[in-house]
Structure 1
Amino acid sequence: MTNRISELKNGDTGLLRRPTRLGDEVYGAIYSQLMSLKIPPGGRIAVDNLVRELGVSQTPIREALSRLEAQGLVVKQHLIGYSAAPQMDLAGLEQLYDLRMLVEPFAAAQAARLMPDEAIASLETIDSDMRQIRNEDARAAYSRFAQSDGAFHDMIALGSGNNLIHETLSRLHTHVHLFRLYYHTRATSDANREHGRILAAIKDRSPKAAETAMRDHIERSRKRFMKFFTDHQE
């Protein structure tokens, strides 16, 4: 079989450049389809179809699907196979933001106190990468931004020094499920500006400013997602 995954990447066909690690690239391809809703919520995921589409064996595809199942993006049912997980409903969205508002501002304040300088440098790198993401390949750009957004918040939670907060937020896979609510190619300048204020406060070692910036970011994010969610439920 010709390894189609080694070819150029195309947002509609799923063709990919030759990866450094095949498993990661296969994971990224399926992740992108789930996040962009090319594979719709509840949609069946046929392994044989992915074998043909990506030009790889079943092994890396099944490994990728297992990773996605752990993130709550894929559901596996006995004798049925894999399908895309259902979407978060409005009640789940509200509860998620209530929880975030309770723990993430505190985590940001603690990170401003405790986060090592080298971890702050890594946070700066993530922030910089997010600002450089372009939409030449819209699906890939959207998926990359969602992953980087999650990494940004995960690093702050880790930097808080509170393992329970970090583990709780990690298990929720918050940003994966939020970004999956809808697929958009609009510039994410608002989120980048809000992240910039959080980062600046942490770098300044200002717990109060970091807490305030995170609280503002979560509230603005809530309004953005809630508006789109309610608009599309009418």
Structure 2
Amino acid sequence: MTEALKRQNVTRGLVPRRLKRPAGLGETVYEHILAELMSLRIAPSSRINIDTLAREMGVSQTPIREALSRLEEQGLVVKTHNVGYSAAPQIDAVRFNELYDLRLLLEPEAAARTAARISDAEIKALADLTRRMNGSGANDARGSYSRFAMLDAEFHDRILKLCGNSLIYEALSRLHIHLHLFRLHFHAKVTSCAIREHEALGAAFVERDSEKARRAMKRHIELSRERFMVTFADLGPNM
């Protein structure tokens, strides 16, 4: 069929017009499913029905599958052959402690190195992220919580990228630590405390004070560990 004939048939209604996907639809679908996972409305280890999600959101299966593939890369969903997608199980106490041990080994050093080399533009970018985190909870607390988790991850990723050691960045970024931690439980206090600690880090960067940045990051990680530790409180002291 020639292009001219195709155009004639489209005009006559004989060939369906190919509709373009609305800009940003894929990101909207991803953010919606992420919020469902982070708020535990999609329970850990539960099956994820693509047809149900598509009907609920009024979209085709294509953006749903794209979002789930992206979430699989982040370790938040699991795809099983001949079964489909399910929400990933939450990290256990052993994994939790291992992640924090790793963070305490690497992130304070990364913060110290970043303080010595950070530019004014990069300081502003980190401050802007902190402000966005502070405004992420205006409406829809559950959805805002997932947005905060993404911004928190970006904040820490920026510091790791700026430290000048690509292996430190690669070792931590591929674990998607912050998404897994914030998924442990919904707690508004987690966000307000983290913002204050990020501001302390920002102050150290403004002063280009490596030791102050090291201490601020160490304290932030230790306090974060205490906040999320409540998830495992029922397991007792020998978790």
Write the distance in 2 (CA, Å) between the matches of 1:187 and 1:100.
Answer: 18
The RMSD of aligned alpha carbons is: 1.6
Write the distance in 2 (CA, Å) between the matches of 1:139 and 1:229.
Answer: 18
**Partner SS for 1:75:** strand
**Partner SS for 1:188:** helix
1:1-234 aligned at under 5 Å gives the runs 20-186=23-189, 188-226=191-229, 228-233=230-235
1:186 CA displacement: 4.1
Contact 1:130–1:145 under 8 Å retained in 2:
yes
Write the distance in 2 (CA, Å) between the matches of 1:136 and 1:126.
Answer: 18
Write the distance in 1 (CA, Å) between the matches of 2:186 and 2:193.
Answer: 16
1:132 CA displacement: 1.7
1:189 CA displacement: 1.9
Q: Which residue of 2 aligns with 1:4?
A: none
Write the distance in 2 (CA, Å) between the matches of 1:199 and 1:232.
Answer: 35
Write the distance in 2 (CA, Å) between the matches of 1:68 and 1:142.
Answer: 17
Please give the per-residue CA displacement for 1:33-56, whole angstroms capped at 9, x wherever unaligned: 000000010010010001101010
> Please, which runs of 5 or more residues in structure 2 have no aligned partner?
1-21
1:115 CA displacement: 2.1
What TM-score results when the alignment is normalised by the length of structure 1? 0.88
Residue identity in the other structure for 2:232: T
1:135 CA displacement: 4.4
Is the alpha carbon distance of 1:52 and 1:232 closer, same or farther for their aligned partners in structure 2, counting shifts above 3 Å?
farther
Is the alpha carbon distance of 1:187 and 1:42 closer, same or farther for their aligned partners in structure 2, counting shifts above 3 Å?
closer
Write the distance in 2 (CA, Å) between the matches of 1:103 and 1:187.
Answer: 22
1:100 CA displacement: 0.1
**Partner SS for 1:56:** coil
Contact 1:127–1:196 under 8 Å retained in 2:
yes
**Partner SS for 2:174:** helix
> Please, which runs of 5 or more residues in structure 1 have no aligned partner?
1-18
Write the distance in 2 (CA, Å) between the matches of 1:117 and 1:56.
Answer: 43
1:117 CA displacement: 2.4
- State which drifts further: 111-120 or 24-33: 111-120
1:233 CA displacement: 4.5
Identity rate of aligned residues, in percent? 53
Aligned length: 216
**Partner SS for 1:134:** coil
- State which drifts further: 123-132 or 80-89: 123-132
Write the distance in 2 (CA, Å) between the matches of 1:184 and 1:97.
Answer: 19
Contact 2:190–2:227 under 8 Å retained in 1:
no
1:78 CA displacement: 0.3
Write the distance in 1 (CA, Å) between the matches of 2:126 and 2:162.
Answer: 10
Contact 2:45–2:88 under 8 Å retained in 1:
yes
Please give the per-residue CA displacement for 1:196-225, whole angstroms capped at 9, x wherever unaligned: 001110111000000000000000111111
Structure label with greater radius of gyration: 2
